[in-house]
Amino acid sequence: MNGRRDDEFTDYVTERMWWLRRLAYLLCQDWPRADDLVQATITRLYTHWGRAAAVEHTDGYVRTILVREYLSERRSGWARRVSLTAEPPDTPSVLGDREGALDLRAALAGLPPRQRATLVLRFYCDLNVDQAAQLLGCSAGTVKSQTAKGIAALRRTLQPPRSPGSPEHGPGNVTSGPDGMEVQPRG
Amino acid sequence: MDDTGVRALLARVADDPAPPSRVDIAAARQRGRRRIRWHRAALAAAPLAAAAAVALVVSGIIPATLGFGPGGPGGLRPGPETARSRFSPLQPYAAFGWLPAGFSTAAGAAMPAANQDQATTLSATLVAGDRATGRLLTLTVSAAGACQFTGPLRASVLVSEDPPRLMTKTYPHGLRCSDGTGHRVVTPLRAAAPGIGGGSAFYLPSGGLAWEYAPGSWASLTPSAQSPGGRDRLHRMYQAAAGWAIGPGPAGFPATIQSAASRALVRKVAERVSYGATAHIVFPFQLAGRPAGWTVSMASYVPAGGRLLGTGGLQAGPARYPYALYAGVRPAGTEGKCTINRGQGRFVRVHGAPATLYPNVLNSGQALYVCDIGGLYVNINLFMTDPKTHRQVPGTSLGALAIARRMRLLGTDPAAWTTDPLG
Same-domain status, B64 and B159: yes
Query: How many CA atoms within 13 Å lie on the side-chain side of B277?
Result: 20
Alpha-carbon span B372 to A76, nearest angstrom:
35
Alpha-carbon span B364 to B39, nearest angstrom:
25
- Tell me the one-letter amino acid at B321: Y
Same-domain status, A75 and A101: no
Give the per-residue pLDDT at B41.
59
Q: Confidence class of residue A45 from pLDDT cuts 50, 70 and 90?
A: very high
- The reply to whether B313 falls in a domain is yes
Q: Using the beta-carbon criterion (under 8 Å), do A101 and B12 form an inter-chain contact?
A: yes
DSSP H/E element including B142 = strand B135-142
Please give the mean pLDDT across all residues of chain A: 68
- The reply to whether A166 falls in a domain is no
Q: Confidence class of residue A88 from pLDDT cuts 50, 70 and 90?
A: very low
Give the per-residue pLDDT at B40.
65
Q: Note down the domain range covering A73.
A: 1-79
Alpha-carbon span B263 to B193, nearest angstrom:
10
Q: Taking 50 as the threshold, does the pLDDT of residue A18 lie above it?
A: yes
For B164, nearest residue in chain A (alpha carbons): A51
**CATH number assigned to the domain comprising residue B297:** 3.40.1000
Q: Using the beta-carbon criterion (under 8 Å), do A158 and B163 form an inter-chain contact?
A: no
Query: Looking at chain B, how many residues does it have?
Result: 423
Q: Which residue among B218, B249, B275 closes a domain?
A: B275
Same-domain status, B286 and B268: no
**Which of A5, A42, A154 shows the shortest C-beta gap to B1?**
A154
Same-domain status, A69 and A101: no
User: How many independent structural domains does chain B possess?
Assistant: 2
Q: What residues of B are in contact with residue A87 (Cβ under 8 Å)? A: 19, 344
Which DSSP string do the residues of B331-361 spell out, in sequence order?
A: ETTTTS------TTSEEEEETTEEEEEEEET
Same-domain status, B203 and B238: yes
**CATH number assigned to the domain comprising residue A146:** 1.10.10.10
Question: What is the arithmetic mean of pLDDT over A118-128?
Answer: 87
User: How many independent structural domains does chain A possess?
Assistant: 2
Residue of B2, B6, B341 to mutate when probing chain A, most A C-beta within 10 A: B6
Nearest Cα of chain A lies from the Cα of B240 at a distance, in angstroms, of 12
The residues, ordered by sequence, that sit 6+ positions from A11 with a Cβ below 8 Å of its Cβ are none
- The reply to whether B3 falls in a domain is no
Same-domain status, A49 and A106: no
**CATH number assigned to the domain comprising residue A12:** 1.10.1740.10
Give the per-residue pLDDT at A133.
85
Low-confidence ranges of chain B (pLDDT < 70): 1, 38-79, 81, 106-116, 131-134, 155-168, 182, 206, 224-260, 334-337, 339-343, 360-363, 387
- The reply to whether A179 falls in a domain is no
Sort strands B314-317 and A175-176 into parallel, antiparallel or unpaired. Answer: unpaired
Give the per-residue pLDDT at A85.
29
Q: Does B3 touch chain A (CB under 8 A)?
A: yes
Q: What residues of B are in contact with residue A44 (Cβ under 8 Å)? A: 32
CA angle B80, B81, B84 (to 5 degrees): 70
Q: Taking 80 as the threshold, does the pLDDT of residue A67 lie above it?
A: yes
DSSP letter at A99 equals H
- The reply to whether B16 falls in a domain is no
DSSP letter at B262 equals H
pLDDT tens digit sequence for A21-44: 999 988 888 788 888 889 989 998
Residue of A8, A47, A74 to mutate when probing chain B, most B C-beta within 10 A: A47
- Residue B69 has a CB neighbour count (10 Å cut-off) of 10
